Structure 1
Amino acid sequence: MHPHARNDSVFYGWAVVAAAFSITFVGFGSAYTFSAFVEPLQRDLGASRGSVALVFSLAGFLYFGLGIVSGPLADRFGARRLAMLGMLFVGIGLALASRARSIVEVYAAYSIGIGLGVGLAYVPAIGTVQRWFVARRGLASGLAVSGIGVGTLIMPPLATWLIASLGWRDAYLVLGVLAALVGVAMSALIVNDPRDRGTGPDGTAIDTRATAKPASGATVAEAVRTSQFIGLYAACLLAAFGVFVPFVHLVPYALDHGLDQASAVLLLGAIGIGSTLGRFLLGSLADRMGRQVFLVAMFAGMAASLFIWAFAGSFWPLAIFALVFGVFYGGWVAILPAVVMDYFGGRHVSGIIGALYTSVAIGTLIGPSAAGFAFDFSHSYTLPILAGAAANILAAIVAIATVRAPRRAIVAS
């Protein structure tokens, strides 16, 4: 049966999308404020730029890597409790970071708190959204992860204002309280499966006698042995080496090139604007034109934008880089979970996404921290930026091969 559900009620899938949006907004928004804290942490804790950048890299490694644990847990026990616990960890980590007396204590508080928190919440929330939609999956996935873009737009300027008004310690405390309150409250809206609300994906009616039938799709073990998974894994690993460098180093780069703090943080906001546009516009466009092909375009676009950054030395070229990079980065994050669902079905989608995101975890651990240590050695970001661009070109090539590879028939919608 495929008639649409009642027209007099709003499809609950959009509430699940709103919950995922809020989780990505406060979780990644808090994480991506980090660039605003680099200078005061360096100054007050007497740390090198590489060691400060490692704070973000460790957090990123944890929050992408933990998806391999939180994804299967969500598939088995439901995403709501994991997301609520995760958002609580984010708040606690930020609050503890406000009391840190050394860079090692920042690792223990911020890196572990943000890493565990976003790791527990992100993959379960995004995986749940995939189950609620079929025809509009790219749009729904894009809206859900657009919280990252809006968070990147709003949270770094808020953090900069809080640092200027209260100092970096109290700024972390305020952000922690905000993350916990908003994140936990919105996580309560998550419902794991549309059948739990008496509906099918996209609001279609279902035969209530068939509600016990499990969702179809590959297991994690089946998925990871396919050429599609291996290709996606390799492409995302390569891309991640360069993708997360701007979130740590764009503000310090701009300050090194003579921009003031407000203009430098505005560049990070431009990534947020572009990212939000990419998630809103490209997600729905990919639904119509082919999500796998669009994924290739996202890698190529990120490579091109990083080349712009490598040779930009003033505000407007940097702003163009930030906006263009944001669009393609946002499109990548929006389309990737939907592509996973397309290939492997919904039964274990959170677990498969979690396994895939370990590739991003490795790239996030190495890329930003390596760029920081490269700067400490050479006092230039040119080489790590160009390396990130080259890695994304390779990612696009791998993604083309993945799209062309024959598919195993393991998915029934």
Structure 2
Amino acid sequence: MSLRSLLTSGLVCFCAGGLYGWSALIAPVQAAYGVTTAQTGLIFSLAIVSFTVAVILAPRLPVQTSTPRAVACFGLFGAMGVLAAARMPEFGFFLLWFSGGFGAASGGIYIAALGVAASSPAHKIATPAMVAAFGTGGAVFGPLWRVMDAEGYGLDGLLLLAAGLGGCSVLVALTSKPGFPMRSTPRAERVTPARPGQSTQVLAMIWTIFAFGSFGGLMVLGLASKMMDVAGAGVALGSLGLAGIALGNTSGRLSVALLTQHLQPQTCMLMAMGLTLAGLATAAFHLNPVMLCVALILVATGYGVVASTVPVMTRAAFGADDFAKRFSVVFSAWGVAGFLAPWAGGVMFDMRDSFMLPLLCAMGAALVCGWVSVRLPRRATLKGLSDP
């Protein structure tokens, strides 16, 4: 795997992360189609479903998808979906092309690009960097779309994403080796670092770690804006807090590339839970809005570490050959947490008109994540950590 192919795949992954900037599209979508806020809420909900389904199914296609060429193919499909969505005359067709088409393509790009990173010699650096590239895409395209909408571009702002996806995908195709090999090694014959008797147990434990680690972070981060409003943070402080959350999330993801050079994935996960619990405790007993913003940034940083550590942990436990299929199962934990956590947090807030119950629930989830991380067999990841 050449460095050039890895970098160009990262560029496509960055563009695919534009899916996370979806909230900036609410105003132009409402202006274009005259729909309600509830209807625009379907955009991301259905996109996450498409994304998760694609992550699970892509590694099970009859062709090898952990290659730069696969990243390019998914990228071109995503560019087509975004371009079509920008030109649809009705909301239903926009939903089909953006949430269904681009959502699925984004999931395919994500799992294929992670497979490319996991197959590289420097996988302990490349994998978290690829995860960070995807998250950074949302942090960049969201603000860009807001600025473009303010300038009157509306849904034409999507053309920027379509151009980025298309151009980077062509670049990947041109710089990668030709060929799109079929899978030839039977599943039963592929060897993984984990012992056969441990495989199911280890996979279930990593799934649980990802589910509870994500749940604790997402429950609070999904309510971050409202928490700052209730605490009395003004517009300036609230905007600064949201920017800090995005920065904390991204820096947490990137930090794993350095941490895993010296620490086991389980140790990184415990550090993530330490940051999360410190942030949750500070949020629960904050004395002023500034402390709350700092608390939310700590939680976001811990969540970012979780997001990057889990793929590294999966690769270490099962090896490069089986990484994509195994991680596609593990990733469903994020889908469950992403669907349930923000909703459950909102319900708990409405019950007591207080954020204390969601914060306590998030603390419990973080403790479960830390406990399962400690219980994860060390020998399941030692071999991966010693790989070059």
| TM-score, normalised by the number of residues in structure 1 | 0.73
Bigger mean CA offset, 37-46 vs 297-306: 37-46
Task: Answer with 353-362 or 273-282: which moved more.
Answer: 273-282
User: Which residue is 1:182 aligned to?
Assistant: 164
Q: CA deviation at 1:231?
A: 0.5
Q: C-alpha displacement at 1:94, in angstroms?
A: 7.8
Q: How far, CA to CA, are the matches of 2:350 and 2:101 in structure 1?
A: 27
Q: Is the 8 A contact 1:89 1:116 kept in 2?
A: no
The CA distance in 2 between the partners of 1:303 and 1:162, in whole Å, is 38
Check conservation: 2:72, 2:170, Cα contact below 8 A: yes
Contact 1:157 1:269 (C-alpha < 8 Å) held by counterparts: no
Partner of 2:214: 240
C-alpha contact (below 8 Å) 1:21/1:147 kept by paired residues: yes
2:266 to 255, 279, 292: 292
Distance 1:62 1:140, change over 3 A: same
Which of these residues, 115, 119, 133, is aligned with residue 107 of structure 2?
119
SS for the counterpart of 1:289 is coil
Given the superposition, is the C-alpha separation of residues 312 and 39 from structure 1 closer, same or farther in structure 2, using an over 3 Å criterion?
farther
User: Which residue does 1:163 correspond to in 2?
Assistant: 149
Say if 1:223 and 1:171 are closer, same or farther in 2 by CA, change over 3 A. Answer: farther
1:147 pairs with 133, 137, 147, which one?
Answer: 133
> Kindly tell me: are residues 240 and 278 of structure 1, through their superposed partners in 2, closer, same or farther at Cα, counting changes over 3 Å?
closer
Moved more, 346-355 or 328-337: 328-337
2:256 to 282, 291, 295: 282
Indicate the larger mover: 83-92 or 157-166. 83-92
Match of residue 355, structure 1, among 329, 339, 342? 329
Cα distance per residue 1:14-70 (max 9 Å; x no partner): 323323432332222x2332344568879963345xx76564344234323422211
Contact 2:12/2:165 (8 A) holds in 1? yes
C-alpha distance in 2 between matches for 1:270 and 1:381? 20
How far off is 1:125 after superposition?
Answer: 0.6
Match of 1:45 among 18, 23, 35: 35
How much does 1:233 deviate? 0.7
SS at match of 1:226: helix
SS in structure 2 opposite 1:244?
helix
1:121 shift after superposition: 0.8
Question: CA 1:400/1:69 → structure 2, altered by over 3 Å: closer, same or farther?
Answer: same
Cα deviation, residue 389, structure 1: 3.4
Contact 2:280–2:359, Cα closer than 8 Å, also in 1: yes
CA distance in 2, matches of 1:313, 1:87: 47
SS at match of 2:192: coil
Partner Cα distance (1:223, 1:16) in 2: 36
Matching of residues 220-235 of structure 1 within 5 Å? 225-235=199-209
Which deviations, in whole Å up to 9, do the C-alpha atoms of 1:185-204 show, x marking residues without a partner? 3344558xx9x69xxxxxxx
**Partner of 2:7 in structure 1?**
18
The letter of the residue matching 1:177 is L
Match of 2:291 in 1: 317
Higher relative contact order (CA 8 A, sep 6+): 1
CA distance in 1, matches of 2:258, 2:234: 37
- The verdict on how the C-alpha distance between 1:97 and 1:265 changes in structure 2, with shifts beyond 3 A counting, is farther
Report the Cα distance in structure 1 between the residues aligned to 2:84 and 2:285, rounded to whole angstroms.
38
Matched, 1:391 2:365: yes
Contact 2:221 2:296 (C-alpha < 8 Å) held by counterparts = no
Partner of 2:241: 267
Is contact 2:13–2:134 with CA below 8 Å preserved after alignment?
yes
**Shift in Å at residue 96 of structure 1?**
2.5
Matched residue type, 2:159: V
Q: 1:79 aligns with which of 55, 59, 67?
A: 67
Partner Cα separation in structure 2 for residue 99 and residue 333 of structure 1: 34
Instruction: Give the counterpart letter for 1:180 in structure 2.
Output: A
CA distance in structure 2 between the aligned counterparts of 1:340 and 1:267, rounded to whole angstroms: 32
Alpha-carbon distance, 1:79 to partner: 3.4
SS in 1 for 2:151: helix
Give 1:334's aligned residue: 308
Contact 1:220 1:348 survives alignment (8 Å): no
Q: How many residues are paired up?
A: 374
The verdict on how the C-alpha distance between 1:77 and 1:55 changes in structure 2, with shifts beyond 3 A counting, is: closer
In 2, Cα distance between the equivalents of 1:181 and 1:127?
24
Is the aligned partner of 1:68 residue 2:68?
A: no
Q: CA separation of 1:356/1:250 partners in 2, compared to 1, >3 Å: closer, same or farther?
A: same
In structure 1, give the amino acid aligned to 2:124: G
